Amino acid sequence: KNEVEQSPQNLTAQEGEFITINCSYSVGISALHWLQQHPGGGIVSLFMLSSGKKKHGRLIATINIQEKHSSLHITASHPRDSAVYICAVRWNYGQNFVFGPGTRLSVLP
Amino acid sequence: ETGVTQSPTHLIKTRGQQVTLRCSSQSGHNTVSWYQQALGQGPQFIFQYYREEENGRGNFPPRFSGLQFPNYSSELNVNALELDDSALYLCASSLLPLPQETQYFGPGTRLLVL
């Protein structure tokens, strides 16, 4: 069964902390996306990765194709980072996204 | 450049009814994907439309159907609504139906089936 798993499921941090959210998947993929979903439903695409590392502001995403693992890091976290972070992959033979269950992040002031 | 919009924002229906949800894709995007997100879960792929043709479908029954119009806006139709159809329905548009294309999500339509 092709699966996407995320850890942790829930995460509470103090403002300023460095945060890591992990995503692992079971078979080869053509692309991995990190998404941010705020309360109310709106989803924003943060990164698309097929190899290596990407950085945007305080966000860093890495992927290790051999280990089938990706991480999303948030430096100097802020309460406005509070959201659900979702990892979504496209399998090598598939067209559609398969989404992980999400990690709910709460950053306290 | 306008983003992805969806209507309505909220909807309440009863079991057995039919519903139509609408999505306007981002300007210039000819690919629309629809997702169902149950409470507390990640989105599930329903289907994708590319240039008015269905271009892939997830594990959803035939009572979930769709359309894409020449202006690339899209509809999701659900017949014979069931209680389990209660969810947030998201549409996302992209320039092309390629794995590396960024998908731009709309705000969603929250459907409650009673």
DSSP secondary-structure letter at B103?
Answer: P
Do B102 and A33 make contact, defined as CB atoms within 8 angstroms? yes
The residues that bridge with B10 in the sheet, in sequence order, are B110
Q: For residues A37 and B5, give the distance between their C-alpha atoms in angstroms, rounded to a whole number.
A: 16
Q: What is the pLDDT of residues B96-108, one digit of tens each?
A: 887 777 888 999 9
Write down the pLDDT at residue A31: 87
- Nearest Cα neighbor of A53 from A26, A81, A34 is A34
CB contact under 8 A, A97 and B43: yes
* Nearest Cα to Cα of residue B2 among B23, B19, B16: B23
Please give the Cα distance from A107 to A13 (Å, whole number). Answer: 5
Q: For residue B60, what are the contacts with CB-CB under 8 A and spacing of at least 6?
A: B36, B44, B46, B47
pLDDT tens digits along A26-55: 888 888 999 999 887 788 889 888 889 999
User: What type of residue sits at position A78?
Assistant: H
Predicted pLDDT of residue B36:
95
What is the full per-residue pLDDT of chain B (114 aa) written as tens digits?
Answer: 568 999 999 999 999 999 999 999 988 899 999 999 998 888 999 999 999 999 888 889 999 999 999 888 999 999 999 999 999 999 999 888 877 778 889 999 999 999
List residues of B whose CB lies inside 8 A of any A CB: 33, 35, 37, 41-45, 48, 55-56, 58, 88, 90, 92, 97, 99-108, 110
CA gap B113, B12 in Å, rounded? 6
Whether the predicted pLDDT of A1 surpasses 80: no
CB-based contact A41 B103, cutoff 8 Å: no
pLDDT confidence bin for A94, thresholds 50/70/90? low
Tell me whether the omega of the peptide bond preceding residue A8 falls within 30 degrees of 0, making it cis: yes
Range A68-80 average pLDDT:
96
| A95: pLDDT strictly greater than 70 | no
Average pLDDT value for chain B: 91
What one-character DSSP code corresponds to residue B51?
Answer: T
Residue type, A36: Q
Cis check: omega of the bond before B70, within 30 degrees of 0? no
Which of B99, B104, B106 is closest, CB to CB, to A31? B99
Q: Given strand B74-78, what is the order of strands in its sheet?
A: B5-7, B19-24, B74-78, B64-68
Tell me whether strands B19-24 and B31-37 are parallel, antiparallel or unpaired: unpaired
Taking an 8 Å cut-off on Cβ atoms, the answer to whether A101 and B102 are in contact is no
Tokens of B11: 């909807």
- Tally A–B CB contacts below 8 A: 63
